Amino acid sequence: MEKIPFYRDTRYISILLQVIFLVLVVGALVWLGLNMLHSLEKQNLSFSFSFLTGSAGFQISEGPLFDPAESYLKAFWVGIVNTLRVGLTGIVLATFLGFMIGISRLSSNWLVNRLAFFYVEFFRNTPLLVQIFFFYIAVVLQLPAAKQGYNIDGWFYLSNAGMTIPGLIPNGNSWTYVLLLIASVVGSVFLTRAIKNNLIGFLLPLVVAIAGWTILKPFGIDHPVLGNFRVTGGSTLSAEFTALLVALVLYTSAFTGEIVRGAIQAIDKGQWEAARSLGLNYGQTLQLVIVPQALRILIPPMGNQYLNLIKNSSLAVAIAYPDVFNVASTAGNQSGNNLQAMTIILLVYLTISLIISFLINLYNRSFNIQGAR
Amino acid sequence: MKSATEMPTPAPSKPDPLRWVKENLFNGIWNSLLTIITLLVIFFVAKNALNWALTEARWDVIPANFRLLMVGPYPQESLWRVWAGVMLINLLAGLHLGNSNRERVSPDLRNTWIALVVITVVYSALQFSAPSAKFLPAVLVVLTVAFFVGRRLNPISTLGWTIAWVIGFGVFLLLIGGNFGGGPITSDLWGGLLLTFLLAVVSIVASFPLGILLAIGRKSKLPVVSGFCVVFIEVVRGVPLIAVLFMAQLFLPLFLPDVRIDKVLRAMVAFTIFSAAYLAEYLRGGLQAVPRGQDEAARAMGLTGTQTMLLIVLPQALRAVVPAIVGQFISLFKDTSLVAIIGLTDMLGVANSITANSNYIGLSKEVYIGITLIYLCFTIPMARASRAVEARLNASKR
């Protein structure tokens, strides 16, 4: 057989192509990098992270207590905590609301069905940023001042300064209580598997939670009090936090609602019929046959929505809620270290994304059919 | 807005409203209770909302600022350029629609046309003194005449239409930019809905080739190429869009020191990069959905790897992801509102400046609801079109 010349041998060609690609990419990056260094030099700036230990010198209005004299590093930390605060609360609420919307979309009740449909269409098709501005400028900031606001004395205050709810003061029993709760949830998972009864698995943590609360008294409650001009005590969610959270939850729940609906509809009709003919009632069918299968379809797109919610929370910068994006861009502008601040932002969001997709994958694996791809 | 698959339809032979109500609202105790509670909630919400909208709200802030919302700070004496551009686009759209609906006109298209006529009549009646009240009917006439001319023309190939649209859009951009007589109109004077559209259209069109390259690159057998594409796609998808926008604003001038790139172009670059990464992921799904046999058959026919990809695999992959691409277009259209944060006067930027204006204090609800409705006018039809395409693709599969 005739020997193939090397320039027509796919093995050599592929190596050659990759070398060319690499040279082009590296060349482009070096060119961009040199340009960048040149322009930084022209502006008397340098690419170093030494500014992080310096004193920040700006206020952060909420989240963990922050003193302007503290370092930029601490400021970034406060920003990250604030991002997670709004992100995680949003994820929990959006999941809950999304499930309600998704199930309403499948309801045989025409009115409920249509209402959920319009909800989804409306929130999915309007820009999130417009919603954030609407809830901030047109709703929360237009609320009356504390004294005339919507109040349930001692429990709940809603005014243009935000929302105040009772706060928890931990005491000696707090950790015991939290550990007890975790133990009861873990225990109920095993119990559910062992005796194949979801109701007991659900009731156990509930009973432990209520009984533990009455016996141990693990937290003191800090009731908010209405002063002359503002509410003191309790834990206050600022106007910015409230508006951002509401917008994120409404927007994301429209998407999760569609995901829930799609997942349940994707279950073959035969599954329903088979379960019913086995003598399971509606609730049992849903609980034992449909939901476990739907969850398998549901989890990956839900994970995407959670990621979107966290990323979308960066729109906080528009209404000055001090999340990590806002803090970083303030810090970058103020110290002239925009490049570094942006690098930190990228790393923070990439890390959060990786962690969430790791958790979702882990959870997803536990639902997959054994031996399936 | 009803879709037959999601709604239990009453028996078509006997349209009995009482029976329909009983079957869909009051079948069983739970549903009856649910209906009553929902009705009560709807009643109270609707009562308050309507009361506000009809008696308290001052909607005149929208017509008073309508020109700003549409074109932003675009010079008033050059508005004819925008109208001429819109006419040109409508001429092309009419010809194209007519040419591709030669046998019969779909009911959707007819309904859209009726809606356009109604909007035009209402608008012209309300704003009869404004110059746009004369231009808007003219645009509709152009669209309609072009449609019927298009039906008479011989069928024109997709390639032909693509070239026509590229040329047409180029002329549109030149017109807006102040060419063909008159001084240049720089992009910082483009605003409102006009800017929203320009950002969305330019970015989606530009992101298309980039997204295809990234998707093919990611599937490449060469590890360096696929590694680069994976890192690019994952990094862009892992960070918020606003971060990409800020980076484009801050760093494009740093990276390219001797070229001055204006803000709008920088935003377009950011949207293009962002959208390309998402398109690449959708396309990867589409590429995976093309059966292996297609590839093998093409190779067996003697096509080269490039030919197989371009002529056999890619067209099928693109077809499979049309709904996802429309979805991407909708979200890009909505996301253009983010440029308000970096100080461009798109529709949201204009709205923010109106609510900050001392003449319109306390009218922020009206302004934001107003632009929400304008956004919905464009996104809802797109969403419906996407659903129709999806249904058609599913139907052809079975």
For the segment A306-363, what is each residue's pLDDT rounded down to a tens digit? 999 999 999 999 998 998 999 998 888 888 788 888 889 999 999 998 888 888 877 7
Average confidence (pLDDT) over B141-158: 86
pLDDT over 70 at A196, yes or no: no
pLDDT of residue A52: 75
What's the pLDDT tens digit per position in B17-30? 778 777 777 777 77
pLDDT over 90 at A298, yes or no: no
Average pLDDT, chain A: 84
Q: How would residue A373 be classed by pLDDT, with cut points 50, 70 and 90?
A: very low
User: What predicted TM-score, i.e. pTM, was given to this entire model?
Assistant: 0.86
Q: How would residue A2 be classed by pLDDT, with cut points 50, 70 and 90?
A: low
pLDDT of residue B379: 92
CA distance B30 to A335: 62
pLDDT of residue B398: 44
Torsion of CA B262, B264, B269, B272, to 10 degrees: -170
**Residues contacting residue A250 through CB under 8 Å, at least 6 positions apart:** A97, A123, A131
Look at A129 and B238 and tell me if their CB atoms are within 8 Å: no
pLDDT over 90 at A164, yes or no: no
Nearest to A329 among B38, B225, B246 (CB): B246
Q: How would residue B4 be classed by pLDDT, with cut points 50, 70 and 90?
A: very low
SS (H, E, C) chain A: CCCCCHHHCHHHHHHHHHHHHHHHHHHHHHHHHHHHHHHHHHCCCCCCCHHHHCECCCCCCCCCCCCCCCEHHHHHHHHHHHHHHHHHHHHHHHHHHHHHHHHHHCCCCHHHHHHHHHHHHHHHCCCHHHHHHHHHHHHHCCCCCHHHCEEECCCEEEECCEEEECEEEECCCHHHHHHHHHHHHHHHHHHHHHHCCHHHHHHHHHHHHHHHHHHHCCEEEECCEECCCCEECCEEEEHHHHHHHHHHHHHHHHHHHHHHHHHHHHCCHHHHHHHHHCCCCHHHHHHHHHHHHHHHHHHHHHHHHHHHHHHHHHHHHHHCCCCHHHHHHHHHHHHCCHHHHHHHHHHHHHHHHHHHHHHHHHHHHHHCCCCCC
Residue A339 CA to its chain's centroid (Å): 26
Chain A residues close to B1, C-beta within 8 Å? 117, 121
pLDDT over 80 at B128, yes or no: no
pLDDT of residue B13: 56
pLDDT of residue A165: 82
Distance from CA of B250 to the nearest CA of A (A): 8
What's the pLDDT tens digit per position in B268-305? 999 999 999 999 989 988 888 888 888 889 888 888 88
pLDDT over 80 at B136, yes or no: yes
Worst-scoring range by mean pLDDT, A56-60, A83-87, A244-248? A56-60
Q: How would residue B1 be classed by pLDDT, with cut points 50, 70 and 90?
A: very low
What's the pLDDT tens digit per position in B333-384? 999 999 999 888 899 999 999 998 888 888 889 999 999 999 998 999 888 8
Look at B238 and A350 and tell me if their CB atoms are within 8 Å: yes
- The burial of A3, by beta-carbon neighbours within 10 Å (0-12 exposed, 13-18 middle, 19 or more buried), is given as exposed
More confident residue, B70 or A366: B70
CA distance B312 to B298: 7
Q: Which residue of chain B is at minimal alpha-carbon distance from A336?
A: B250
Residue showing tokens 């007890």: A180
Average pLDDT, chain B: 84
What's the pLDDT tens digit per position in A101-124? 998 888 888 888 899 999 999 999
Q: How would residue B14 be classed by pLDDT, with cut points 50, 70 and 90?
A: low
What's the pLDDT tens digit per position in A262-281? 888 888 888 888 988 998 88
pLDDT over 60 at A372, yes or no: no
pLDDT of residue B2: 42
Distance from CA of A114 to the nearest CA of B (A): 9
pLDDT of residue B15: 64
Identity of the residue numbered B129: S
For chain A, what percent of residues have pLDDT higher than 70?
94
pLDDT over 50 at B122, yes or no: yes
Nearest to B242 among A25, A113, A325 (CB): A325
Q: Is B251 on the interface with A (CB under 8 A)?
A: yes
Distance from CA of A141 to the nearest CA of B (A): 10
More confident residue, A245 or B260: A245
Helices (H), B101-183: 107-126, 132-152, 158-176
pLDDT over 80 at B247, yes or no: yes
CB of A132 within 8 A of CB of A319?
A: yes
Q: Is B9 on the interface with A (CB under 8 A)?
A: no
pLDDT over 60 at B9, yes or no: no
pLDDT over 70 at B10, yes or no: no
3-class SS of residue B346? strand
Average confidence (pLDDT) over A164-192: 81
Look at B254 and A126 and tell me if their CB atoms are within 8 Å: no
Identity of the residue numbered A37: L
ipTM at complex level: 0.86
Q: Is B8 on the interface with A (CB under 8 A)?
A: yes
